[in-house]
Amino acid sequence: MREERKQLEVLLMHYFRACHPEFPSGRAVPSESPDFIVKMKNKHLLGIELTRLNPANALAPDAQQLNQIQLQEGIISTAKELFEHQSDLKLFVKFLFAEENPLNADREIAVAAISSNLVRKYIQSKNRKSFFKVSIRKNELPAGIEEILIVHHPKLETAIWERANNLGVSNNVVDDIRHSIYKKDEKLRLYQKQRLNYYWLLITTDRLRGVKSFNLPNKILNHNFHSRFQHVFLFDLIKSEIYELV
């Protein structure tokens, strides 16, 4: 399990680097406490710690939502199985389902088959020996799916296909972000034993959402977060958007 987690961290690190226009030049080396050390060209060392945003304030799903979750999980599992019948490529795949357009059980196999074929179509020209990221948009997907994110890195040896926001949708995103920063700040003393020049914290979220309907990115960017890390970033994986919090 630890090895699989590290493989995923390598993939996410490359994804973040590809999306961050000011990421420093240098080689990112997997490490422990912090997760990566970037050996910069000016000989400085940058430590980067990764964590996933945990919606501690998520509301428990009701019976109808649980039924939808079970159906969505079935679609993803079948799509993965169909894809892997014809390809041994290991992918990180996130399905973002449309909350306002619930799926019917009688469409499960058809939706899974269409999704699997689209994933295969979108990656067929990609170089499996290098990192790549692909998004399949709503207008090409079966009704009920908003987007499918596909990310590949040759270090990934175990395929990961799952629902976006599978930990739940937060009732208080700002508080969850603040808690994530606090937890990692407590461990910063351990990271500082390596005497690196800089320390960054990267918080990933599948899709930045909250149960309340307001402009969540604006609310987050207008909030003052505090950390002993030099920079803290929130990375929306589905939209490939980075929010600098500190």
- Structural domain spans, the chain: 2-57+172-244, 63-163
- Note the pTM of the prediction, 2 decimals: 0.95
- What's the 3-state SS for 152-182? ECCCCCCCEEEECCCCCCECCHHHHHHHHHH
Q: What's the CA gap between 136 and 73, in Å, rounded?
A: 19
Q: How confident is the model at residue 59 (pLDDT cuts 50, 70, 90)?
A: confident
Q: What percent of the chain has pLDDT over 90?
A: 86
Q: What percent of the chain has pLDDT over 70?
A: 98
Helix (H) and strand (E) counts in the chain: 5, 10
- Average pLDDT over every residue of 38-54: 96
